[in-house]
Amino acid sequence: EAGVVQSPRYKIIEKKQPVAFWCNPISGHNTLYWYLQNLGQGPELLIRYENEEAVDDSQLPKDRFSAERLKGVDSTLKIQPAELGDSAVYLCASSPNRVGELFFGEGSRLTVL
Amino acid sequence: AQSVTQLGSHVSVSEGALVLLRCNYSSSVPPYLFWYVQYPNQGLQLLLKYTSAATLVKGINGFEAEFKKSETSFHLTKPSAHMSDAAEYFCAVTHSNSGYALNFGKGTSLLVTP
């Protein structure tokens, strides 16, 4: 069974530039999450999808962050414009709807210069 | 809101020694508790979970954790550390009131020395 796939693994951009991250969840997993992980910290939830519906986006900074999950499968997280403080690892996870059982991708590490 | 506190951001043990990683939770309702492990440059992987069944939970790679309500704790243990156990370990909590969103602790980095 293929795991959660994320791309790109690494991205370096200048501040004020846009950036996008892509996630392909495990087949059949209806729930998809985007988490932010700062260095030395635990993951923090940005947004959770049930199929194509964003059911929890309360922690997503909507002035510069956006996300979509078209057709309830792949998802894209976008930052525009990026700021220095956005440098972090962006983790995607999917779940087969068993409580707390998340399957994580390897993450996309963003460096904003 | 529920949260977890992991005591000790870094723990060092000798190979073969007992591993003990501490986690205390705060929750106004019965929680579900989890331990995840993150190896370098990899995503998080579920080690074990407590969902109100047996208080002693066994996970993968020889790890186990015990839910102690009186101490609000969910410490992770392994009798004998292996070099391959070196990783970052995260405790997490959720419950139905939060829509089962996981709240993670800040993590504990385990170093295993020969």
DSSP track, chain A: ----EEE-SEEEE-TT--EEEEEE--TT--EEEEEEE-TTS--EEEEEEETTEEEE-TTS-TTTEEEE-GGGS-EEEEESS--GGG-EEEEEEEE-SSTT--EE---EEEEE-
With cut-offs at 50, 70 and 90, classify the pLDDT of residue A99. confident
Q: Is the previous residue joined to B31 through a cis bond, with omega within 30 degrees of 0? A: no
Tell me how far apart the alpha carbons of residues A86 and A16 are, in angstroms, rounded to a whole number: 11
Mean pLDDT value of segment A28-33: 92
For residue A27, pLDDT over 90 is answered with yes
Q: How many inter-chain contacts (A to B, CB under 8 Å) are there?
A: 59
- Lookup: tokens for A60: 């997503």
Higher-scoring residue by pLDDT: A2, A16: A16
Interface test with A, best of B52, B102, B103, B106 (most A CBs within 10 A): B102
Length in residues, chain B: 114
The token duo for B112 is: 């295993």
A61 pLDDT higher than 70 = yes
Q: Do B104 and A91 touch (CB under 8 A)?
A: no
Positions of chain B with pLDDT lower than 70, given as ranges: 97-99
Q: Count other C-beta atoms under 10 Å from residue B53's C-beta.
A: 8
pLDDT at residue A1 in the model: 67
Contact B23, B3 (CB under 8 A): no
How far apart, in whole angstroms, are the C-alpha atoms of residue A18 and residue A78?
7
The DSSP code sequence of B5-43 is EEE-SEEEEETTSPEEEEEEEE-SS--EEEEEEE-TTS-
Give the C-alpha separation, A68 to A81, whole Å. Answer: 17
Mean predicted confidence (pLDDT) in A86-112: 93
Chain A partners within 8 Å of B101 (Cβ):
45, 48, 56
Verify whether the Cβ–Cβ distance A93 to B43 is below 8 Å: yes
Q: Is there a contact between B100 and A100 if contact means CB atoms under 8 Å apart? A: yes
**Cβ contact B47:B60 at 8 Å:** yes
Tokens of B45: 């992987």
Instruction: Give the pLDDT of residue B72.
Output: 94
pLDDT at A107: 95
Please list every residue in chain A whose beta carbon sits closer than 8 Å to the beta carbon of residue B44: 43, 91, 93, 102, 104
A11 and A110 in contact (C-beta within 8 Å)?
yes
Q: Would you state the structure tokens that stand for residue B52, as one six-digit string? A: 């109100």
Residue B2: is it exposed, middle or buried by C-beta count within 10 angstroms (0-12/13-18/19+)?
buried
Taking CB atoms and an 8 Å cutoff, what residues of chain A touch B102? 43, 45, 100, 102
Give the pLDDT confidence score for residue B89 in this predicted structure: 98
If you average pLDDT over residues A56-69, what whole number do you get? 93
Instruction: Quote helix, strand, coil % in chain A, to nearest 5.
Output: 5, 50, 45
pLDDT band per the 50, 70, 90 thresholds, residue A96: confident
